[in-house]
């Protein structure tokens, strides 16, 4: 699946792909009928959680400064950031210091999402309602665009709010955010920063195009191995069945 021409211009202009192991958006991502989402815990200058929703061949992205909350009373600031390439959804590693967004990135959640209405209308109105079916986050959420940027920063600010449903949890006090374990590799932030442990299991990319456990810039290595097609193993077919079950759950919720 190729991203639309020009869609990643801002993303690419902010990064030097000779110095960061982040993808430039040229890896092939498996086409799929459902929409995928990822949340990346990012220890940049300030720790935040990047929410990315697949739409029209890119990831619409928001930096959620304090992370998502299961408590419907909490309204979490979500700063709109540039569209990211879909292969970014498999990135886990460390962006070198001095580079844009320098710091460690952990795949904190991922799965499927479905809009609760027309994405075009909801984005225009600044009231995006959707359901998530991830490893950690489930159920109905809303992103509400704030009218004025009271900080005068020129940024577009939204609020991420959990809708009341069977997955909301009043008084959760961010218990969920205490889970410091990658959904893709099982690694803690410290292990990822050290380049140790298992490499992340791909979700967006073909297996061979996956990121290494020590995904930081290395001058003696290309940014990525070329994706290769492989006949699926029995284990992989099992994983596909599991994924299909999840997909049905999201579809049922989206109705
Ligand atoms: Mn970030």
* Residue 40 Cα to ligand 1 middle (Å): 7
What are the pLDDT digits (tens) for 201-223?
999 986 655 677 787 753 333 33
* Residue 98 Cα to ligand 1 middle (Å): 14
Which residue do the tokens 């710091």 mark?
103
pLDDT at 1 over 90: no
* Residue 230 Cα to ligand 1 middle (Å): 32
DSSP class of 208: G
Distance between CA 249 and CA 235 in Å, rounded?
22
Percent of the chain having pLDDT more than 70? 80
Which residue do the tokens 């869609």 mark?
7
236 a catalytic residue:
no
Distance between CA 22 and CA 106 in Å, rounded?
13
What does the CA dihedral 205, 210, 216, 222 come to, rounded to 10 degrees?
-90
Average pLDDT of the segment spanning 134-158: 87
* Residue 92 Cα to ligand 1 middle (Å): 12
* Residue 157 Cα to ligand 1 middle (Å): 15
pLDDT of 223 reads: 36
pLDDT of 233 reads: 43
Residue 225's CB is within 10 A of a number of other CB atoms, namely: 13
pLDDT of 175 reads: 94
What are the pLDDT digits (tens) for 37-62?
999 999 999 999 999 999 999 999 99
Q: Catalytic one among 14, 196, 236, 242? A: 196
What are the pLDDT digits (tens) for 77-108?
999 999 999 999 999 999 999 999 999 999 99
The counts of H helices and E strands in the chain are: 4, 9
By C-alpha distance, which of 107, 101, 136, 110 is closest to 213?
A: 107
144 pLDDT band, cuts 50/70/90, is: very high
Task: Compute the chain's Rg from CA coordinates.
Answer: 18
- Residue 213: strand, helix, or coil: coil
Q: Which contiguous run of DSSP H or E holds residue 42?
A: strand 35-43
């Amino acid at each position: 699946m190729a991203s639309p021409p020009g869609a990643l211009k801002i993303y690419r202009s902010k990064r030097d792909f000779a110095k960061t192991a982040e993808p430039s958006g040229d890896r092939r991502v498996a086409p799929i009928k459902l929409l995928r989402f990822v949340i990346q815990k990012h220890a940049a200058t300030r720790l935040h959680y990047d929410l990315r929703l697949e739409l029209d061949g890119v990831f619409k992205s928001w930096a959620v400064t304090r992370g998502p909350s299961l408590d419907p009373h909490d309204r979490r600031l979500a700063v709109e950031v540039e569209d990211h390439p879909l292969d970014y959804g498999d990135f886990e590693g460390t962006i070198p210091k001095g580079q844009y967004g320098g710091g460690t990135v952990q795949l904190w959640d991922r799965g499927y999402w479905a809009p609760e209405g027309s994405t075009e209308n909801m984005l225009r109105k600044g009231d995006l309602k959707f359901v998530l079916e991830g490893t950690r986050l489930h159920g109905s959420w809303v992103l509400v665009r704030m009218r004025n940027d009271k900080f005068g920063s020129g940024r577009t600010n939204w609020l991420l709010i959990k809708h009341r449903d069977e997955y909301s949890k009043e008084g959760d006090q961010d218990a969920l955010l205490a889970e410091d374990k990658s959904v893709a590799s099982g690694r803690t932030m410290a292990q990822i920063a050290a380049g140790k442990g298992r490499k992340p299991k791909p979700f967006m990319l073909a297996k061979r195009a996956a990121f290494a456990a020590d995904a930081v810039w290395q001058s003696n290595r290309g940014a990525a191995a070329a994706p290769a097609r492989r006949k699926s193993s029995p284990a992989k077919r099992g994983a596909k069945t599991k994924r299909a079950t999840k997909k049905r759950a999201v579809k049922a919720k989206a109705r």
